[in-house]
Amino acid sequence: MAQPDLLELYRVMLLARMIDERIWFLNRQGRAHFAVPVAGHEGVAGYAFALNPPQDYVVPHYRDLAALLHFGLTSQEVFLNLFAKPADPNSAGRQMFAHWSNPQKHILSLSSPQPNHITHAVGVALASKIRGEKSVTWAGFGDGSSSKGDIHESMNFASIHKLPIVFCCENNRYAISVPQEKQMAVQNVADRASGYGMPGVVVNGNDPLEVYQVACKAVERARRGEGPSLIEIKTYRFLPHTSNDDDKRYRSPEELLAERANDPVTLFREVIIHEKIWDDAHDQALKRELQKEIDDAQAFAEASPAAEPEDAFTNVYAS
Ligand SMILES: Cc1ncc(C[n+]2csc(CCOP(=O)(O)OP(=O)(O)O)c2C)c(N)n1
């Protein structure tokens, strides 16, 4: 099977991690009102390399920053969205942070009521099929969301109609403070796939190449018209659910430390060093380059004009 561009994959994973750190600091400084951490989920980005942007569609989970940076989201757009500026192409600052959306790049907004966007993704896949396009839709959601009825209806309908869609559950073991065992009586979300008549695969989310390979198979199956698959990516989030959460109340420092030992960014850096296509000097240079990209993007977004009070109801009510 073909390999993804390993250095591009590492670049988007590292960039996502560094943007995430900056956003967390800005939030703690009172300069960004809401942060949605992605640290720990970067290995999921392997899937973006199995798709053809912008022919395919992504209806992402909100922790998919690294994948979306490959799909065309830019650092500037991230910070414009963070500061809710009218120049934000995602929603002109109307949506909460991390509701990524760019119709030209085929990135569709997730839905705040979790996980309504999976039914929207099924609609996109149905439209592709009716139009005879060769597009595949990628639909991302969390383990907590997998317990909702929308997922059952979406997977059932998509499988009956053999829609070109891949369902991807990012299982980080918690729905905010609720652990997996209080959400479901199965060990793997992927075990449910057989009940819908589709393949279900469990993947190690700390290995973006494993994610890539499993994603390629599911995308190819969807493109051949054979219908959907369910991929469950076992992952972990290193920071609280959002900046409004205190994770010390429901998980131990020991658990966090043990999971941090399997940091997907660190592990993947070791892989490319082992492949002899990377070394410390390149790593330091890339970090400096990305730091500058983030500084510039933040400065650009901060300097971008704020919304005018008289626009408070623009695009909210019909005029
Ligand atoms: C219908 C609905 N109920 C509750 C919420 C509040 N909420 C936002 S995210 C979330 C947890 C989702 O957990 P999971 O799907 O596992 O994703 P994770 O945040 O762990 O990546 C909840 C309960 C919501 N957005 N929508």
Write down the pLDDT at residue 312.
87
In this predicted structure, what is the pLDDT of residue 1?
65
What is the DSSP code (8-state) at residue 107?
A: B
What pLDDT does residue 314 have?
A: 83
The pLDDT of residue 308: 94
pLDDT of 315: 76
What number does CATH give the domain 6-304? 3.40.50.970
Stretches where the chain sits below pLDDT 70 are 1
Is the distance from the beta carbon of residue 121 to the nearest atom of ligand 1 less than 6 Å?
A: no
The answer to whether residue 57 is catalytic is no
Q: Residue 240's pLDDT is what?
A: 98
| Spans of all domains in the chain | 6-304
- CA 18 – ligand 1 centroid, Å: 24
Task: Find out whether the beta carbon of 62 lies less than 6 Å from any atom of ligand 1.
Answer: no
Return d(Cα 302, Cα 306) in angstroms, integer.
9
Is the Cβ atom of 140 under 6 angstroms away from ligand 1? no
Q: In 119-148, which positions are buried (b, 16+ CB within 10 angstroms) versus exposed (e)?
A: bbbbbbbbebbeeeeebbbbbbbbbbbbbb
Quote the DSSP letter at residue 319.
-
CA nearest 44: which of 220, 235, 188? Answer: 235
Distance CA 308, CA 284 (A): 41
Among the listed residues 260, 261, 138, 271, the one whose alpha carbon sits nearest the alpha carbon of residue 209: 271
Query: Would residue 161 show up in a list of annotated catalytic residues for this protein?
Result: no
Q: Whose CA is nearest to atom 8 of ligand 1?
A: 114
- Burial level of 20, CB count in 10 A (0-12/13-18/19+)? buried
Residues 75 and 18: beta-carbon distance below 8 Å: no
What's the gap in Å between 160 CA and the centre of ligand 1? 27
Residue for token pair 């500026």: 85
Q: CA-to-CA distance for 12 and 10, rounded, in angstroms? A: 6
Phi/psi for 109 (5° steps) reads -65, 140
173 is catalytic: no
Could you tell me which residues come within 8 angstroms of residue 312 by beta carbon, excluding any fewer than 6 positions away?
none
Angle separating helix axes 75-82 and 280-303, nearest 10 degrees: 40
Give the separation between CA 60 and CA 70, rounded to whole angstroms: 13
Q: What's the gap in Å between 116 CA and the centre of ligand 1? A: 11
pLDDT recorded at residue 276: 97
